[in-house]
Amino acid sequence: MEEALFLKIMEDLSSFPYAGRISPHFYGEPTIDTRLVHLMRLARKMVPKAELIIHTNGTHLDRALYRDLLSAGVTGFLVTRHTPKWPKGILDIMTNEPNAAKTMKVRDLEQATLFNRGGTVKPKRPRTLRSCFYLSDEIASTHNGEVVCTNDFHITESFGSVRNSHLLNDIWWGEEFSNLRKELRSGQFRLPVCKVCSAGVKKTSTPELVQIRDHISPPLPI
């Protein structure tokens, strides 16, 4: 994402003022972006109440970058293992950094219950829902500014562009997007991507069919 667009998003969020989570990724690895420390410093300055959470596979995260990101205002890290063994940098951080236990959460997806990412993957333990609060809890902006569901890997449904619309006033609080979130919370899966996603799969009476909400307090009014 170009810096000008990143700044536009931060500016839109700062008008609320936004106090939810900001994570600089959309199915990519943020730590390979050499601008990451700089961008997180800008985000902390422009949206001071936000939680800045880095989602990473840990392969490029070492103690130096970890410290630089914390100094830039990053709140914490969510590290997901995608390699046979935990990356050496992550083990080094967890062993030797005094604040690692407070700032870093590590997880292994082997036994996790997962979304199918808009029908893209087939998890060993798929997550299925009677209703979906996911889009009410978080959204993503692609590198070119399209606002999408974070489960929409193939970007099949855009809810607007932050290039020419205000992220909050025009898109999040817009009538069409507000109505869609209400439909999803009531169990109506109208969009094609929703029908094949974890929330739209055929309902069964199996125990894993549950209603979930990933975040107790959404960052914005729903």
Placement of tokens 């969009």 in the chain: 191
List Cα–Cα distances, 58 to 69, 94, 114, in angstroms.
14, 12, 20
pTM of the model: 0.84
Consecutive H or E run containing 178 = helix 175-185
pLDDT of residue 202: 52
Question: By the 8 A CB rule, do 212 and 130 touch?
Answer: no
Tokens representing residue 183 in the block: 């439909």
CA-based torsion, 99, 102, 108, 109: positive or negative:
negative
Higher pLDDT, 115 or 206: 115
Write out pLDDT tens, residues 16-46: 889 999 999 998 999 999 999 999 999 999 9
- What is the distance between the alpha carbons of residues 104 and 64, in angstroms, rounded to a whole number? 15
pLDDT at 199: 56
